[in-house]
Amino acid sequence: MPELPEVETVRKELSAVLTGQRIESAAVYCNRLRNPIPDSFAADVAGLTVHEVQRRGKYLIILTDKEKALLIHLGMTGKLLLKSKDSQLEKHDHIVFDFADKKLVYNDIRRFGVVALYDKDSLYRIKALREMGQEPLSDDFTGDSLRASLKGRKAPIKICLLDQTVIAGLGNIYVCEALFKAGISPLRQGDSLTEKESELLCYYIKEILSESVKAGGTTFRDYRHSDGSKGEFVSHLSVYGRAGQVCSWCNLKDSCGGIVKINQGGRGTFYCPVLQK
DNA sequence: AAGTTCACCTGATGGC
DNA sequence: TGCCATCAGGTGAACT
């Protein structure tokens, strides 16, 4: 579910509400997430004060005092919801953090997410963070750096772009969308992109992600803002979830294309075979 | 090393 | 109505 724009949206919301706030107490209702939550978790986070909410790829990093950091990944169906103190516990609410006048609820239907507390200095020793690729919205992510990280990659470009060690934060929706905008077939070998194509792909990755952040992300099914509302970017999607429809480019050019759905690595890929070569 | 397949989990949807 | 198969925005382990 949540890719970079969705996680960034939640980051901004949590940062605005929780910075400077203290976790009065916490409760774990189900500890079976991707990694089991240790029994000491609730006691360990109680009393920590939020200093800053950061994002790296699809991970949220909540930095607190006492040199601690909460690491959160929303998996496929994770949500972080800010609720009033008197709100009721709902189905799939697994962890509740109580603040002075709010509570932060971690809800996750499929329980593929991650919630863990680390010492600040050990955080970046975690494999996923240590090996994470470039942030696509940073200035040092360029056509050249993208091409360099794709060097020697024989897997399809679609698969490469989903690899978080190649580039951080892209998921199935935005990979499909960026490849469409750049006119590149998802079937192309990763290292087959020319200098010009890498430049174009880099440009559209930045564009699609930043436009989606502006719209508060994409709610295709489960994703929600921290107030429970939906992300508005879904209406801007060109190919994802649009199998059978005529693509906007073909429509403009009056050619006979249609968006098709294929399977790559066990996941759906949407693209226009006429436009994307 | 890098590519591929599969498991993890719940719920929605569609065919019979 | 029920039952079954399939699919879903992610990732990491275990194969080749």
**pLDDT score at A240:** 96
- The nt closest to A220 (CA vs C1′) is C9
A158 has a pLDDT exceeding 70: yes
Together in a domain, A178 and A213 = yes
Together in a domain, A74 and A148 = no
Handedness of CA A144, A148, A152, A154 (dihedral sign): negative
Domain membership of residue A276 (yes or no) is: no
Of A156, A155, A157, the residue nearest A146 (C-alpha): A157
Greatest alpha-carbon pair distance for chain A in Å reads 63
Together in a domain, A35 and A118 = yes
CA–CA distance, A179 with A200 (Å, rounded to integer): 9
Together in a domain, A92 and A211 = no
Domain membership of residue A59 (yes or no) is: yes
**pLDDT score at A127:** 97
Together in a domain, A126 and A147 = no
Joined tokens for residue A235: 């209406």
**pLDDT score at A184:** 98
Together in a domain, A154 and A215 = yes
Q: Is A267 a catalytic residue?
A: yes
Domain membership of residue A118 (yes or no) is: yes
Q: What is the pLDDT of residues A79-89, one digit of tens each?
A: 999 999 999 99
**pLDDT score at A255:** 72
Annotated catalytic residue, options A110, A188, A267, A273: A267
Residue A155, domain CATH: 1.10.8.50
Domain membership of residue A277 (yes or no) is: no
Q: How far is the CA of A272 from the C1' of C12 (A)?
A: 31
Where among A78, A101, A130 does a domain terminate? A130
For chain A, the average pLDDT equals 96
How many distinct structural domains can be found in chain A? 2
Q: What is the pTM of this model?
A: 0.97
- The nt closest to A126 (CA vs C1′) is C12
Q: What is the pLDDT of residues A5-25, one digit of tens each?
A: 999 999 999 999 999 999 999
**pLDDT score at A250:** 83
pLDDT tier for residue A55 given thresholds of 50, 70 and 90: very high
Mean pLDDT of A153-166: 98
Q: What is the pLDDT of residues A72-115, one digit of tens each?
A: 999 999 999 999 999 999 999 999 999 999 999 999 999 999 99
Residue A73, domain CATH: 3.20.190.10
- Of all residues in chain A, the percent with pLDDT exceeding 70 is 98
Q: Is A3 a catalytic residue?
A: yes
Where among A130, A161, A184 does a domain terminate? A130
Q: What is the pLDDT of residues A23-45, one digit of tens each?
A: 999 999 999 999 999 999 999 99
Q: Is A83 a catalytic residue?
A: no
Together in a domain, A92 and A188 = no
CA–CA distance, A169 with A161 (Å, rounded to integer): 9
Together in a domain, A174 and A98 = no
Together in a domain, A8 and A91 = yes
A1 has a pLDDT exceeding 70: no
- The nt closest to A35 (CA vs C1′) is B8
Annotated catalytic residue, options A55, A58, A68, A79: A58
Domain membership of residue A120 (yes or no) is: yes
pLDDT tier for residue A249 given thresholds of 50, 70 and 90: confident
Domain that holds residue A31: 4-130
**pLDDT score at A218:** 95
Q: What is the pLDDT of residues A176-216, one digit of tens each?
A: 999 999 999 999 999 999 999 999 999 999 999 999 999 99
Together in a domain, A208 and A126 = no
Q: Is A32 a catalytic residue?
A: no
Task: Count other Cβ atoms within 10 Å, centred on residue A263.
Answer: 8
Together in a domain, A148 and A265 = yes
Of A135, A134, A185, the residue nearest A156 (C-alpha): A185
Where among A130, A165, A192 does a domain terminate? A130
Together in a domain, A13 and A76 = yes
